[in-house]
Amino acid sequence: MKILVKIRYNGAGYCGFQTQPNGITVQAVLTEAFSRLFGFPCHVTGCSRTDSGVHALGFCATVVPADESVSRTDWCRIPPEKMHRAVNVLLPVDIAVVAAAIVTDDFHPRYSVISKAYEYRIHNAPYRDPFLMNRAHHEPRRIDAAALSEMNAVAQMFVGEHDFAGFMSAGSSVEDTVRTVYAANVRRDGEQIIYHVEANGFLYNMVRIMAGSLMDVAYGRKTSEDIRVALDECRRTSAGFTAPPDGLYLSDVKYDREIHWMCL
Amino acid sequence: MKILVKIRYNGAGYCGFQTQPNGITVQAVLTEAFSRLFGFPCHVTGCSRTDSGVHALGFCATVVPADESVSRTDWCRIPPEKMHRAVNVLLPVDIAVVAAAIVTDDFHPRYSVISKAYEYRIHNAPYRDPFLMNRAHHEPRRIDAAALSEMNAVAQMFVGEHDFAGFMSAGSSVEDTVRTVYAANVRRDGEQIIYHVEANGFLYNMVRIMAGSLMDVAYGRKTSEDIRVALDECRRTSAGFTAPPDGLYLSDVKYDREIHWMCL
């Protein structure tokens, strides 16, 4: 038996999700909170690494006792529907559990994933917004309806099974760079332009390079043909810049089984 | 000639708009920024006092030279369409100018007002939201469609000309407590419930007491009849509690003349 929790966090104050020797991470903070809550050391495993400054609306992580001596079947005294109330008081204000579920031991927060969805938010107004500081990438130059439509057309190119090696940052060690994008679109929501993408997996910096490519097309620094070449010929130099992390949100994760999320 | 600026600010870090001896205020920060920008002391006058912790999306303020020796007609070297770029670099991240206009000397940011609009935002979800900390009032208990509809019906009572003395905090020295509410409604937007109200003026804490009354009705602590009595008989004790400042936003100000807002 494992506890699965759904988490929202503002990543501005963290060096990403995954624990590392230097800098505070979401995983380290969660591990400490759950260990204090249960009274014994816990392991927290996330659905994804997220980069420093990246946010999450529906991040998923499992919690299990770290100590083998703790019963594996009857260790959680807190009903899942009340987990958010119990643990949120032990978490800093920029991290919150929003739901919890019981899952079986064969469930893995990363390997049981069917698809993940991300949003990239661009604040497109001449002025900066005090409420979007570190929460959206600011692009002051107007993206008009024609440019927005072109961005959306480029997003449609990403849909389907492709080798996304041209949309991966150097330094990644993955061998299989083929991923399937299930949905992608670009829409305006007030002063924000939101790129939404769902896929069975993402390469290192893939969403940020996609978002950078869309912005480069909107501003005429790249053509949609450049992006086509980046995709067809796996050519990183034809794709756009790597958009900054502050506009990126992990929004949703789908699993290979039904999860009975609870929250009262 | 005066400069009129439209401002957004996150009020979480300020003791309200108006300068006071203890605590940092939005007016003091704006005054310092404009004085540095122009190179001589400036006076900044706001459209409203806002309480500590209250936010603004469309606050209006005028800027004039404080020194009589500065020319009153030709003192502003910065075109209004570029004002946001010039001054925002001198402002902290939680305050930003979003537009500017030139107005004549007879314009007053408070006395030339026709109407002001406020929003009160309630985060209605069982868990707290890391992105709404100090930006919405958290009410974890579910407000369902029936309760929302009752809130909206109570909001409709406020529309029209009424003596709102029952919706004013003690300690206010105003003599005329009659105000005209032009529009009021309550709607759900995702996890938030938003109360919007527009009036020719507001008494001290009026919007927060209205918002508290709506929540008291939603949770059965007051009836809509209680609120009717508070309104008809000016009875503060029949109205609801004073909702906390963090959910309140000054959203818009309308003036008795057309303002040529500029922002490039």
| A118/A242 same-domain check | yes
Enclosing domain of residue A94: 2-111
List residues bridging with B196 in a β-sheet.
Answer: B119, B185
Using a CB-CB cut-off of 8 Å, the residues of chain A touching B100 are none
3-state secondary structure of A231: helix
Q: Is residue B263 part of a domain?
A: no
Walking along chain B (264 residues) 10 residues at a time, the average pLDDT comes out as: 97 95 95 97 96 97 91 87 97 98 97 98 98 98 98 98 96 90 98 98 97 98 98 97 98 98 96
* Same domain, yes or no: B84 and B133: no
Residue B256 lies in a domain: no
8 Å CB contact between B108 and B191:
no
Confidence (pLDDT) at A202: 97
A205 and A162 co-located in one domain: yes
Per-residue pLDDT, averaged over A15-22, amounts to 92
Q: Which residue of A has its CA nearest to B89?
A: A128
Instruction: Tell whether A7 is covered by a domain.
Output: yes
Dist CA A218 CA B234 (whole Å) = 57
pLDDT at A135: 98
Cβ separation B96–A125 shorter than 8 A: no
Q: Which CATH number do you get for residue A199?
A: 3.30.70.660
Does residue A78 form part of some domain?
yes
Tell if the CB–CB gap between A127 and B84 is shorter than 8 Å. Answer: yes
Domain end, chosen from A93, A111, A129, is at A111
CATH code of A15's domain: 3.30.70.580
Exposure class string for B209-225: b at 16+ Cβ within 10 A, else e:
bbbbbbbbbbeeebeee
B216 carries an active-site annotation = no
Same domain, B51 and B102: yes
Mean pLDDT of chain A: 96
Domain boundary among A82, A111, A140: A111
Both B152 and B178 in one domain: the answer is: yes
- Does B247 share its domain with B131? yes
User: Are B101 and B209 found together in one domain?
Assistant: no
Q: pTM for this one?
A: 0.95
Q: Touching check for A177 and chain B: CB below 8 Å?
A: no
Q: What distance in Å separates residue A86's CA from the closest CA in chain B? A: 11
Domain count, chain A: 2
Q: Which residue matches tokens 């969403």?
A: A207
Query: Is residue A258 one of the residues assigned to a domain?
Result: no
Considering A79, A111, A143, which residue would you say is the last residue of a domain?
Answer: A111
Going by C-beta distance under 8 Å and a sequence separation of 6 or more, which residues neighbour residue A169?
Answer: A204, A205, A209, A242
Separation in Å, CA of B203 to nearest CA in chain A: 27
- pLDDT, tens digit, for every residue of A217-252? 999 999 999 999 999 999 999 999 999 999 999 999
Segment A79-95, tens digit of pLDDT: 999 999 999 999 999 99
Model ipTM value: 0.95
Q: Is any Cβ of chain B less than 8 angstroms from the Cβ of A262? A: no
Question: B54 and B23 in one domain?
Answer: yes
Cα of first residue to Cα of last residue in chain B, in angstroms, is 21
Q: Evaluate whether residue A257 is within a structural domain.
A: no
Size of interface A-B (CB pairs under 8 A): 61
- Residue A155 pLDDT grade (very low, low, confident, very high; cuts 50, 70, 90): very high
Counting Cα atoms < 13 Å in the Cβ hemisphere of B84 gives: 23
Tell me whether residue B258 is in a domain. no
Do B238 and B195 lie in a common domain?
Answer: yes
Tell me: do A70 and A15 sit in the same domain: yes
B120 and B246 fall within a common domain: yes
Within 8 A by CB and 6+ apart from A93, the residues are B128, B130, B133
User: Which among B95, B98, B128 is the nearest to A88, CB-wise?
Assistant: B128
Residue B70 lies in a domain: yes
Let me know whether A118 and A164 are in one domain.
yes
